[in-house]
Structure 1
Amino acid sequence: MTIIKVELKTLSGKPVDRASVIVDFVQGRSVVKLGRKNKFHWEVRSNQEGLAKIPAIPQGKIRIQVNAKGFQTFGEIFDVEEEQKTIAIRLNPPQAQHSEHQ
């Protein structure tokens, strides 16, 4: 099992608070109870320091998605093999809108 901390910052290094962090277990050493696989899915929010703490999950591949107001949505798959891991994510500002009707 692995305990994960997700550290969210802007490109300039400021913490991003109240961001929605979604973690899904993709593949690896899944826990089987009574003959059925457990699905692992968590939704947490980052605190004022930009940290989101995820409860212990099986080691393997996880998908992390981050939604924060005023930033581009982030999504990536990570390998977790350690007992504790901190994943640092830098959030990009939104892209400019493009329109053919200007």
Structure 2
Amino acid sequence: MTARAGLPGFRRTLAVVLACALAAAALAAAEAEVRVEVQVTAEATGEPVEGAAIYLKFKEERFLRKDKRMEWRVKTNKDGKAVFPPIPEGVVLVQVIAKGWKTYGEYHTLEGPKQLLEIKLKPPKKWF
């Protein structure tokens, strides 16, 4: 058997490996992203909550490129609104922490080009 006899099998294997790598790269590049806007208000009055810290983190570990973030933090403006940069679709934990309010934390599914999360904060429990 000569060395050339195994060459067609090698080429076929190389072609399959390259095709898989290109397909994976295309899927990663085409991952859908969501522009997330958050509106934070008081549950009882509907008034906006200014300066609330909003943390967003993926529920499960994601296989994103090294330059992709896994969690984000923003603060609300005077109108109680905050906007995150484009984020990949998926299930995320949203936590809202504001002085004088009970901390909020729930999972949300992000999908579509744009999503508005309306979060209503409750007052903290009274101490006796």
Band the TM-score falls in, shorter-chain normalisation: 0.7 to 0.9
Match of 2:70 in 1: 40
CA distance in 1, matches of 2:93, 2:38: 12
**Large movers: runs of 4+ above 2 Å:** 30-33, 36-39
Q: Which runs of 5+ in 1 are unaligned?
A: none
Deviation at 1:32, TM superposition (A): 3.1
Note the aligned Cα RMSD (angstroms): 1.9
SS at match of 1:75: strand
Match of 1:14 in 2: 47
User: Match for 1:83 among 95, 108, 113?
Assistant: 113
Higher helix fraction: Structure 1 or Structure 2? 2
Normalized against structure 1, the TM-score is what?
A: 0.84
% of aligned pairs identical? Answer: 29
Higher strand fraction: Structure 1 or Structure 2? 1
SS at match of 2:85: strand
Q: Which runs of 5+ in 2 are unaligned?
A: 1-32
Mapped contact 1:25–1:63 kept (Cα < 8 A): yes
What number of residue pairs does the alignment pair up?
95
Normalized against structure 2, the TM-score is what?
A: 0.68
Deviation at 1:38, TM superposition (A): 4.4
1:25 has 2:80 as partner = no
1:66 has 2:99 as partner = no
SS at match of 2:86: strand
Deviation at 1:39, TM superposition (A): 4.4
Match of 1:53 in 2: 83
Higher radius of gyration, 1 or 2: 2
2:39 counterpart letter in structure 1: E
